[in-house]
Amino acid sequence: MASLNFTQIRNKNPISELTLTRSQTTGLARRTRVGFKVVAAGESPVEPDLSVTVNGLHMPNPFVIGSGPPGTNYTVMKRAFDEGWGAVIAKTVSLDAAKVINVTPRYARLRADSNGSAKGQIIGWENIELISDRPLETMLKEFKQLKEEYPDRILIASIMEEYNKDAWEELIDRVEQTGVDAFEINFSCPHGMPERRMGAAVGQDCALLEEVCGWINAKATIPVWAKMTPNITDIAQPARVALKSGCEGIAAINTIMSVMGIDLKTLRPEPCVEGYSTPGGYSSKAVHPIALGKVLSIAKMMKAEFNDAGYSLSGIGGVETGGDAAEFILLGANSVQVCTGVMMHGYGLVKKLCAELKDFMKLHNFSSIEDFRGASLPYFTTHTDLVRRQREAIEQRKAVKKGLQSDKDWTGDGFVKETESMVSN
């Protein structure tokens, strides 16, 4: 079982009357309702605090580089820290990089313009890239160097191995020695690796997942996040198994299995490698609503069955704006990862993300991320309940139109409308 060192979050707003409901020892204490604080005239609102503490790891903001090209080597990870990203998750590593052979082209993009104009906005991105093809020894040296140069910044190693207990134990041991702060386990890569019983092959099989999580959590001494695949009927099932098997957090989603398209002149699929292709992983803006749906399923399950206590959730998929990130947080995410967004807009994107998230928080007078984390969850219900609510609302509106049946029906809030409902002209 990974050991935890939780840091307590302070209530930044001394005048707040909002109560704390979660155990203060978990470090994940949160307020019971959405905060709309009254700011006195002339008083400037407090600058929102974007910092978060997730499984004891303190980050200056919730924006995390998602595993992929933006975390492939020392140079780019250093750049991410320098630009101000809250944390970096490196490209997934395994013991034997010699088995990882990439092809080119390995990306294909979907543009919003219907006639395929090269000027249309990129909304979808498919990749058939594998995990890191760099020697593990090289990656480990770079992790160590980064942690020496940035001891206060959070570096998370993404790892993946074959179905072999000794291999997992060796990988965990060697990566932990570099001083990384946490692990994200890639149970979710949809292409290439499942052929070797890795990645999504584990995340899609709850029995296999339970066994592998057991090995990992018995060995790891730092927090472990399980990264889930959306290519499964009910994503909450493997997430539940991962948490029950000792993982401290869930990250979702990895890419969605896809075929980007077929060239109608050549009849060959994209991305086309020597005339052939293979289904790949879909990411970017187009996956954002799907990712929100998957994160909602996981968040509801975590709240109902784990009471949120000490467990974390990292939302991933199509984030390019502060508003996209706010949506994941409103569903209960503690952090938000960005991968394709960085490939399209560069590392400086984090500044825009922070500014936009702050603007959103100022609009609602939220002073911290915990002020609104999970605030939209109560507004999801069943379709049957929507029907009941709508029927009741229509009946109420009809009753108001008809006028009050008795003096006891007058209400304070609807008083003017109730008066008008009984006027003849």
Ligand X SMILES: Cc1cc2nc3c(=O)[nH]c(=O)nc-3n(C[C@H](O)[C@H](O)[C@H](O)COP(=O)(O)O)c2cc1C
Interface residues with ligand X (CB under 6 A)?
66-69, 91-92, 125, 127, 129, 131, 158, 186, 189, 227, 254-255, 283-284, 287, 316-319, 338-341
CA dist 295 and 297 (Å) reads 5
Taking the complex as a whole, the smallest distance from the CB of residue 371 to ligand X amounts, in Å, to 25
Q: How far is the CB of 389 from ligand X (least distance, A)?
A: 34
Q: Which is nearer to ligand X, 184 or 371 (CB)?
A: 184
Spatial distance between the Cα atoms of 259 and 153, rounded to a whole number of angstroms? 37
Tell me if residue 107 falls in helix, strand or coil. Answer: strand
Q: β-strands 312-316, 335-338: how paired?
A: parallel
We find the least distance from the C-beta atom of residue 171 to ligand X, in angstroms, to be: 14
In whole angstroms, the minimum distance from the beta carbon of 328 to ligand X comes to: 11
- Smallest CA-to-CA distance from 22 within 240, 312, 292 is with 312
The distance of closest approach from Cβ of residue 114 to ligand X in the complex, given in angstroms and rounded to an integer, is: 22
305 three-class SS? helix
Nearer CB in complex with ligand X: 200/236:
200
Half-sphere exposure for 231 (CA within 13 Å, toward CB)? 23
Which residue, 56 or 271, has its beta carbon nearer to ligand X?
271
In the DSSP assignment, the letter for residue 134 is S
Shortest gap between Cβ of 266 and ligand X (angstroms)? 24
Amino acid making up residue 214: G
Beta bridge mates, 122 = 111
**Measured CA angle at 181 (ends 178, 186), to 5 deg:** 90
**CA atoms within a 13 Å half-sphere pointing along the CA-CB vector of 17:** 3
Beta bridge partners of 111: 122
Give the closest residue to 67 by CA, choosing from 339, 348, 343.
Answer: 339
Rounded to the nearest 10°, the torsion over CA 175, 257, 229, 157 is 20
Reply yes or no on whether 354 is catalytic.
no
Q: Which residues partner with 338 through β-bridges?
A: 65
CA angle 184, 203, 335 (to 5 degrees): 35
Active-site residue identified among 189, 213, 247, 339: 189
CB nearer ligand X, residue 9 or residue 160: 160
For the chain, report the end-to-end CA distance as a whole number of angstroms.
74
Cβ-based nearer residue to ligand X, 28 or 100 = 100
Structure-token pair, residue 112: 């919003």
Q: Which is nearer to ligand X, 91 or 153 (CB)?
A: 91
Q: Given the complex with ligand X, which of 48 and 281 has the nearer CB atom? A: 281
Minimum distance of ligand X from residue 10's CB (angstroms): 31
Bond before 89 cis per omega within 30 degrees: no
Catalytically annotated residues: 189
